[in-house]
Amino acid sequence: MARTTLSFYRYVHLADPLLLRNSLFTTWEAMGVLGRIYLAKEGVNAQLSVPTNMFQAFRDAVDVQAEFNGVPFKIAVEEEGTSFSKLIIKVRPKIVADGLADEAYDTTNVGEHLDATTFNRRIEEGALVIDMRNNYECMIGHFEGAYLPKADTFRGAIEEVKEVMTLRQRQGEGLPEVLLYCTGGIRCEKASAYLRHHGFSNVGQLHGGIIDYARQIKAEGLTSKYKGQNFVFDGRLAERITDDVVSTCTQCGTPNDRITNCKQHCCNLLLVQCDACATKYANCCSPGCREIHTLPEEVQKQWRKGRGSASAKSKAITDPEALRDLIRHEEELLSINGTLHPELTSISASTLPNS
């Protein structure tokens, strides 16, 4: 069955998010909608897929809700693989976990919304382009010459950008027009308002984010100043915007932009991994994770007991040199000891029959 992946958001007051959640779930589940949707008193943030033959019916169902009527849909440029496997609608304190005290600044005082043509022109005129995504999202694609935050959280990225802009002013460098962009535009709403509150008034933002920028450049025959892939928060992980490869394999350093998760469940960290390294390391990030991942499932389950996921602390591997050093060290130990996990001997003996 053909499906269409899309996203939308709107900052709007929702009187009873839980009641709305239950109503939406009943209606959307009947349509075969899959996805991840967050509701809060401040609005909605949705990433989902809908059967293509139900697209208009879904559009009509969304518009029936007065709070969502006419909300712009950002349609994915690629539809390969399964973006979502089930429907999840959650009520949260915020539709984006930004860690900001919204009452401390005017969240409606946002930057100028710019379409793709204007965004391109402002770049050519010398604007400072800033990526408002996390560090691992920037790895596989970004706008030419953009400042790429080192932070791995949205709150961290906002503070980092504010400090960079403040430092430039203090050093007397002057600050040109600032252009913000993110995946679908929602983070730039908060980021632009926050920066304007701190005195940076000349701020613009890419309306609809990278997702709608890709649609516009394709529809209008524009040159894409965004290079590579766009990181997305669904099963696809990325959708290609241009054929440019702007990253390298985290493990071997060859040009590559295939992003994936380490398949060892207690790791699950994101990394850029070429096909050769995927084969060599069994789709894992290191020999240590490979050794666990290739064990019988029952042994893996025993080994995982009481262990948390590394990705709960950090989402991605962003220091390739450190990883390559770890790989060399683990390969040496493996050649000497035959294992990187001596505790597996007792686990295997108690788990596997006749071992």
pLDDT at 355 > cutoff 60: no
pLDDT-based confidence at residue 310 (cuts at 50, 70, 90): confident
Banded model confidence at residue 69, pLDDT cuts 50, 70, 90: very high
Question: For the chain, what is the mean pLDDT?
Answer: 92
What pLDDT score does 349 carry? 64
Q: Does the pLDDT value for residue 199 go beyond 70?
A: yes
The pLDDT of 239-256, averaged and rounded, is 97
Res. 163 pLDDT band, cuts 50 70 90:
very high
DSSP annotation of 316 reads: B
- Where in the chain does DSSP place strands (E)? 3-11, 34-40, 43-51, 74-75, 87-91, 112-114, 128-131, 141-143, 178-181, 203-206, 226-231, 238-240, 259-261, 270-272
Percentages helix, strand, coil for the chain, rounded to the nearest 5? 40, 20, 45
Give the percent of the chain with pLDDT over 90: 81
pLDDT above 80: residue 153:
yes
Domains of the chain with CATH codes: 3-91 (3.30.70.100), 102-229 (3.40.250.10), 249-351 (no CATH)
- pLDDT on residue 184: 92
Judged by DSSP in three states, 37 sits in strand
Tokens linked to 206? 């890419």
Bridging pattern class, strands 178-181 and 128-131? parallel
Query: How many Cβ atoms are within 10 Å of 93's Cβ, its own excluded?
Result: 10
Question: Each residue of 40-52: pLDDT tens digit?
Answer: 999 999 999 999 9
User: What's the pLDDT band for 351 if we cut at 50, 70, 90?
Assistant: low
Residue with more model confidence, 86 or 350: 86
Predicted pLDDT at 79: 59
CA dihedral 138, 139, 145, 150 (to 10 degrees): 70
- In this predicted structure, the answer to whether residue 338 has a pLDDT above a threshold of 90 is yes
182 annotated active-site: yes
pLDDT, residue 172, reads: 77
Q: Specify the pLDDT at position 286.
A: 98
User: Out of 182, 188, 277, 285, which one is annotated catalytic?
Assistant: 182
Residue 183 DSSP code: S
Tally Cβ neighbours within 10 Å of residue 249. Answer: 20
* C-alpha 119: how far from chain center: 22
Residues 76-104 have a mean pLDDT of: 83
User: 173 pLDDT exceeds 80?
Assistant: no
CB 205 within 8 Å of CB 119: no
Mean pLDDT, range 349-353, rounded to an integer = 61
pLDDT at position 189 is 92
Q: What is the pLDDT of residues 254-288, one digit of tens each?
A: 999 999 999 999 999 999 999 999 999 999 999 99
Sheet containing strand 87-91, edge to edge, reads 74-75, 3-11, 43-51, 34-40, 87-91
